[in-house]
Amino acid sequence: MKNEILLLKTLLLSTSGRNIMKYGRDKKKRRKILWGMIGTGILYALLIGVCAVMCFGYGTFGMIDSAPVLCALMISAMAFVFTLFKTNGYLFNFREYDMLMSLPFASKTVAGCKFLYMYVKSLPWYLCISLAMLAGYGWFARPHFLIYPVWVLLSFFLPVIPMLAASFLGFLAARISAGFRKTNIVQTVLSFTFALLCFFMRFFIEKLIKDDQVEMMLSRVSDATDSAAGFYFPARWFARAVTKGSPLDILLLVGVSALLFAVVFRIVGSSYRNINSALKSHAAAKKYKMTAQRQSSVLHAIAFKELKRMTGSTVYMTNGAMGFVLAVLIGVLVLVLGLDRIVSTVTNGAPIDTGMLQPAIPFIVYFFTGMYATTASSPSLEGKNYWIVQSLPIEKKTLYRGKMLFNMCLGVPSMIISTICLCISAKVPLPNAALYLILGFALCAFSTAWGCVCGVRHMRLDWENDVEVVKQGAAVTIYILPNLFVAMGLVVLAVILGMRMDHRLLALAAILLVSALAALCYRWVMALAKE
């Protein structure tokens, strides 16, 4: 492990925000890192609060003995999912591949280093779950004082086995798909499927906890976790180690984790170079024929370039297109099942007249279509190739217009489909539906322009992995969080105002206001393009 640790230390130092805060002189960059740390700290606090509440529920109903198994399963599930979606960007097809492979290290050493980098970057999330559950378990169970250090020690090993399993699955997928042109299709489909399951799982959970069924639900969860521990051995080893202090289970969890690490990366290292070389190359179709090239406008060419970038990145595709897919899916479900039934499910059977929701339809759709703007991350995705863009005979404002055109091409069709479906189900009059479509277009324009403002003002070009821009970038965070709460507030405000004024007048006022904001953001982008 000596070489892996050496490479890991160098990689962490080169990407550490704390290192930049300590030695960097750029105040703007230091300010961004500081706000990023504050935002991450808030998310850690929320996760700790959720886990603490879960432990409190288990302790209140006398089922605290199931907390260790639940802790192990939560960490294992999160580690598996996080690693499965990050393998393509961290372990394979990463940007610094050529530099790392030129160093005098074996392929398995480089692969092991990248795995450890994923582990270290995700470790705070797992520790938040573990320490919060430990606090709840200690409060209700009052275990022996030696259990506390054992719990903390084993928390560092709990994520290793599921991460190795996810990495090996990613290795197999990369090994199989390395010879094909569309290497991201399988991972993208899996990502969309998992995200959709998580979205609709919310309604299933609400159904379980409806009325006074909390105790019964916790009892079922407790039985399910105990059953899962019978099949998933690391959870059983962890539970026995912290409840019975079993030395054998401690050794099993630590030893099997270390052994699997050595075995997996010996297998991965055997074809590591071949896989990365295949992923970085592009095969031409056998039936390709040279034909006359079609002339296209610069804006269309830039938009098409963004499309190719999105389809070439699983992380970008999953995050950038998820909101639009959900908008269409929700519209179709409402049309098939009926708005009354959907509203009854969401509100747990509350007597709400669906006619009250008619003015809020454009904002309900915007909650999904405005969930993520590709313009918030696309300027930063140019990365270290930004100098190529600057050397082209294209003005910055043209470049930004092309990026905004791409987001509009994604958002407007999904908005139209979802709005029409909701209007049909809610029996909205035709003139009102036309106004809602215009308002939806204005909202798409606003989200596109505002996302571009965030993307340009908080552009980050020194990233090594697109995850750092698409999921963790300051521009994306600044766009998503306020926009999410504003969209929810607009839904409530539209319902309240719709009960006091004419729906058409309300839609016209909203169109004028949103159009003015969109125009203001667009002018802001054009002003930033001149800097």
DSSP 131-146: HHHHHHHHHHH---TT
Q: How far is CA 283 from CA 272, 276, 279, 312, 422, in A?
A: 19, 14, 10, 14, 44
pLDDT tens-digit series, residues 283-333 = 445 555 655 556 667 888 888 888 888 877 767 777 788 888 888 888 888
Q: Which one has a higher pLDDT value, 277 or 102?
A: 102
Q: Which among 346, 395, 78, 312 is positioned nearest to 200, based on CA atoms? A: 346
Band of residue 166 on the pLDDT scale cut at 50, 70, 90: confident
Task: Name the strand (E) or helix (H) holding 371.
Answer: none
Is residue 418 a contact partner of residue 368, using CB atoms and an 8 Å limit? yes
Confidence of residue 391 (pLDDT cuts 50, 70, 90): low
C-alpha torsion 327→330→331→335, nearest 10: 180
pLDDT, tens digit, 9 for 90 and up, residues 515-526: 999 999 999 999
pLDDT at 215: 46
Contact 283/179 with Cβ under 8 angstroms? yes
Q: Taking a C-beta distance cutoff of 8 angstroms, is the pair 366, 440 a contact?
A: yes
**Mean pLDDT to the nearest integer, 405-415:** 91
Instruction: State whether the Cα torsion 360-362-364-367 is positive or negative.
Output: negative
The dihedrals phi and psi of 454, each to the nearest 5 degrees, come to -60, -45
Three-class SS of 449-481 = HHHHHHHHHCCCCCCCCCHHHHCCCHHHHHHHH
d(CA 301, CA 312): 16
User: Could you tell me if 64 and 141 are in contact, meaning their C-beta atoms sit under 8 angstroms apart?
Assistant: yes
206: confidence class by pLDDT, cuts 50, 70, 90: very low
H/E element holding 241? Answer: helix 233-244
* 247 token code pair: 């030395």
Using alpha carbons, select from 302, 473, 309 the residue that is nearest to residue 389.
Answer: 302
Measure Cα distances from 34 to 17, 23, 37, 155, 206 in Å.
8, 14, 5, 28, 37
Task: Kindly state the average pLDDT of the residues 88-103.
Answer: 66
pLDDT at 213: 45
Tokens of 121: 């970057």
Residue 63 has pLDDT above 60, yes or no: yes
Q: How far is CA 423 from the centre of its chain?
A: 30
Q: CB under 8 Å to 34, separation ≥6 — which residues?
A: 21
pLDDT, one tens digit per residue, over 235-269 is 888 888 888 878 888 898 889 888 888 888 777 76
pLDDT band, very low/low/confident/very high, at 7 (cuts 50, 70, 90): confident
Looking at residue 177, what is its pLDDT? 55
% of the chain with per-residue pLDDT over 70: 73
Query: Which of 326, 321, 436 has the alpha carbon at shortest distance from 373?
Result: 321
Per-residue CA distances from 484 to 142, 194, 370 (Å): 41, 21, 8
Answer whether residue 369 shows pLDDT above 60: yes
Please list, in sequence order, all residues whose beta carbon lies within 8 angstroms of the beta carbon of residue 289, skipping any fewer than 6 positions away: none
More confident residue, 407 or 34: 407
Based on its alpha-carbon atoms, the radius of gyration of the chain, rounded to whole angstroms, reads: 26
Task: For residues 504-517, give the mean pLDDT.
Answer: 92
- The CB-side HSE value for 332 (13 A sphere, CA atoms) comes to 7
Of 133, 123, 118, give the one whose Cα is nearest residue 83. Answer: 118
CA dihedral 470, 472, 474, 477 (to 10 degrees): 90
- Chain centroid to Cα 312, Å, comes to 17
Query: 20: which DSSP letter?
Result: H
Q: Give me the pLDDT at residue 294, please.
A: 61
| pLDDT over 90 at 223, yes or no | no
> Is 65's pLDDT higher than 70?
yes
